[in-house]
């Protein structure tokens, strides 16, 4: 009888949580992809930014307000990434569950060590973020930390599913660890290689895989390329024999192609986020493999 | 439906309250045949707030507002002085020049600034979806004040816009009244650009006024038709924006564009062509 009562109590506790799935909104698709893997079918996840959109600037549309209005939780990248658009959307969504400090406000960057924290803050140096470079999700180990953080946050919001989230986290971590070993082996031959990028988006990726991504087509973060700066980049690329330029979907590919034309470099599409339906590991896998292929292609020419 | 209202409440209030004055000013602008003066003044205002950004003032602060207002008044002065009867250099040409130069100068000013592109885009298409209640109320109070001015001095304003020859003959100081008109007009435009962007302010000023000129002749009728079109168009556009998840400002612009096509069709079907240039009440 006692065990029956316990089972009944457990069921009663579990029911309200299960009846309405936890509704989670992620600001960017990389956070959304990890949330989907951890939350499985116990939560629903909606992304705000499209995979092809610039995460610094997301166009306000009615559906974004509606998503935030319904949400039980919002996951934000933080480090000022969404500063230009999320606060106004949240104001209009009027959802007290997402107020700062509430368990429904999940700050993914919490507990991570960010790169490039400026010593002094000066807007003349471009779009520099006070908290450091906010594009930390392109280091798989940061993705791993965020996954654990999400697991804890979801468990707090839906304690009945905690064990389920924990199991998903374990699966995610095991897969990612195995993959990371593969990726590192694939990129090991190219240690120290230079890669040019349009925006300073990939320092975490470069650090993890021993690459150098310190040449940018933008003269300062967020400032469109100028002719003088591009000429400088071309000179440096020729001097150091840099042959790969990566561009993200919302960036001007033409600029990269012009520079590539002068330097015989390869222009590589580097998606900033997992595409719809892609997992975090699949996205990272695509980045690593396309980069390896580009390095190989340019080796043959030399 | 309830949810649509919840999300679109303040954009809707903004799009119902604020175009009231804009439609009326638009009738003046259409009659004066200086259609693009609002685009030019709006762009000059945007140049002011671009300069503000470079000086470290965010677009929503009062410093930025004062700067863009100051620039608008300078623009108003320029347009007052260039209202000429010299047909070799039509005023429209000067207005166009002010527009492109202000736009290009804005690009130069923001060239070295991180949020430059975004800011230029925002001044063009605005963010009427995310308008704040405070902003709507503040702008509404300003519009009531400007509307009151126009009501008090309606005789003078209507005369200089609709019958400039008679105004000249009556010996009134056209230059000063013109400046007064442009200054208040610029203030109204600047305030709305902060909410809805350059495209939306142009649309609210010109499209209902032009539609009205296709459908009516007397000033009171023109106003009634213009207001009706602005109101119906806004409601339809906001609902469509919500239902189909389109950016709100651009949806309003396109729906009002459709209203113009409808007005032209109605006008043709009635077989009574109204010439836009005919003075009202004849």
* A-B Cβ pairs (cutoff 8 Å, strict): 64
Number of domains in chain B: 1
Cβ pair A62:B111 closer than 8 A: no
The mean pLDDT of A162-191, rounded to a whole number, is 97
Which domains are delineated in chain A? 11-180 (3.40.50.1980), 190-301 (3.40.50.1980)
Q: Is A106 left (phi over 0), alpha (psi -120 to 50) or beta?
A: beta
Say what the pLDDT of residue B85 is: 64
The mean pLDDT of B144-151, rounded to a whole number, is 96
Is B184 within the bounds of a domain? yes
> Which residues on chain A are in Cβ contact (under 8 Å) with B130?
60, 88-89, 91-92
The question of ipTM being above 0.95 is answered as no
> Which residues on chain A are in Cβ contact (under 8 Å) with B3?
66, 69
Contact A123/B at CB under 8 A: yes
Question: Percent of chain A, pLDDT > 90?
Answer: 77
pLDDT band at A16 (very low <50, low <70, confident <90, very high): very low
Cβ pair B130:A88 closer than 8 A: yes
Is-contact B119 B110, C-beta < 8 A?
A: yes
A2-11 residue pLDDT tens: 554 445 444 4
CATH (domain of B193):
1.10.3470.10
DSSP string across B175-238: HHHHHHHHHHHHHHHHHHHHHHHHHHHHHHHHHHHHHHHHH--SHHHHHHHHHHHHHHHHHHHH
Average pLDDT over all residues of chain A: 89
Say what the pLDDT of residue A272 is: 95
A140-161 residue pLDDT tens: 999 999 999 999 999 999 999 9
Least confident range from A125-139, B167-181, B193-207, B233-247: namely A125-139
Q: Is A47 helix (H, G, I), strand (E, B) or coil?
A: strand
Is B281 within the bounds of a domain? no
| A62 → closest Cβ in B8, B10, B111 | B8
Is B159 within the bounds of a domain? yes
> Which residues on chain B are in Cβ contact (under 8 Å) with A69?
3, 6-7
Virtual torsion, Cα B2, B8, B9, B14, nearest 10 deg: -160
Taking the CA atoms of A55, A61, A62 and A63 in sequence, report the sign of the dihedral they define: negative
Domain that holds residue B13: 2-270
Q: Is B259 helix (H, G, I), strand (E, B) or coil?
A: helix
> Which residues on chain B are in Cβ contact (under 8 Å) with A222?
114-116
Is B278 within the bounds of a domain? no
Is B277 within the bounds of a domain? no
Is B275 within the bounds of a domain? no
Say what the pLDDT of residue B49 is: 84
Residue A168 to chain B, least CA–CA distance (Å) = 33
Say what the pLDDT of residue B110 is: 81
Say what the pLDDT of residue A126 is: 61
CA distance B158 to B156: 6
pTM confidence score:
0.82
Is B86 within the bounds of a domain? yes
């Amino acid at each position: 009888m006692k065990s029956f009562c316990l089972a009944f109590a457990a069921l009663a506790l579990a029911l309200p949580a299960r009846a309405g799935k936890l509704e989670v909104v992620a600001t960017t698709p990389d956070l959304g992809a990890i949330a989907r893997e951890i939350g499985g079918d116990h939560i629903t996840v909606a992304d705000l930014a499209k995979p092809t959109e610039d995460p610094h600037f997301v166009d306000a549309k009615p559906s974004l307000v509606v998503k935030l209005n319904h949400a039980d939780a919002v996951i934000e990248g933080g480090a000022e990434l969404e500063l230009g658009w999320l606060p106004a959307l949240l104001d209009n969504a009027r959802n007290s569950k997402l107020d700062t400090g509430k368990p429904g406000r999940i700050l993914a960057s919490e507990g991570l060590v960010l790169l490039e924290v400026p010593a002094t803050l000066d807007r003349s140096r471009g779009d520099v973020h006070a908290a450091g470079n906010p594009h930390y999700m392109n280091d798989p180990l940061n993705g791993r930390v965020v996954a654990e953080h999400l697991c804890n946050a979801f468990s707090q919001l839906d304690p009945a599913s905690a064990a389920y989230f924990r199991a998903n986290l374990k699966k995610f971590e095991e897969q990612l660890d195995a993959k990371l070993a593969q990726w590192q082996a694939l990129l090991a031959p190219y240690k120290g290689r230079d890669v040019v990028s349009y925006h300073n988006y990939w320092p975490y990726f470069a650090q993890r895989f021993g690459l150098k991504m310190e040449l940018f087509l933008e003269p300062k973060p967020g400032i469109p390329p100028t002719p003088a700066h591009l000429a400088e980049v071309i000179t440096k690329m020729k001097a150091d024999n840099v042959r790969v330029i990566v561009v993200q979907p919302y960036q001007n590919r033409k600029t990269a192609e012009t520079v590539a034309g002068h330097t015989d470099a390869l222009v590589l599409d580097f998606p900033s986020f997992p595409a719809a339906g892609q997992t975090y590991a699949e996205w990272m896998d695509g980045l690593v493999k396309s980069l390896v292929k580009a390095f190989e292609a340019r080796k043959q020419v030399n | 439906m309830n949810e649509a209202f919840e999300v679109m409440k303040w954009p809707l209030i903004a799009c119902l309250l604020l175009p009231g004055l804009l439609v009326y000013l638009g009738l003046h602008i259409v009659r004066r045949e200086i259609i693009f003066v609002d685009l030019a003044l709006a762009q000059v205002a945007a140049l002011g707030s671009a300069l503000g950004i470079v000086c470290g003032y965010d677009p929503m602060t009062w410093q930025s507002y004062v700067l863009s207002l100051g620039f608008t008044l300078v623009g108003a002065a320029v347009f007052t002085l260039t209202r000429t009867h010299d047909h070799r250099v039509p005023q429209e040409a000067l207005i166009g020049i002010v527009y492109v130069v202000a736009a290009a100068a804005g690009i130069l000013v923001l060239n070295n600034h991180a949020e430059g592109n975004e800011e230029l885009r925002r001044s063009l298409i605005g963010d009427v979806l995310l308008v704040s209640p405070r902003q709507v109320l503040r702008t509404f109070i300003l519009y009531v004040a400007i509307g009151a001015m126009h009501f008090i001095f309606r005789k003078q304003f209507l005369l200089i816009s609709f019958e400039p020859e008679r105004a000249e003959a009556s010996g009134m100081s056209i230059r000063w009244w013109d400046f007064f008109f442009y200054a208040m007009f610029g203030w109204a435009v600047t305030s709305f650009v902060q909410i809805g962007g350059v495209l939306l302010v142009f649309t609210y000023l010109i499209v209902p006024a032009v539609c009205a000129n296709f459908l009516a002749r007397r000033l009171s009728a023109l106003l009634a038709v213009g207001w009706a079109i602005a109101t119906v168009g806004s409601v339809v556009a906001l609902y469509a924006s919500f239902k189909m998840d389109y950016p709100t400002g651009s949806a309003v612009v396109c729906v009002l564009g459709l209203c113009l096509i409808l007005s032209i069709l109605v006008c043709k079907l009635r077989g009574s062509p109204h010439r836009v240039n005919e003075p009202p009440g004849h």
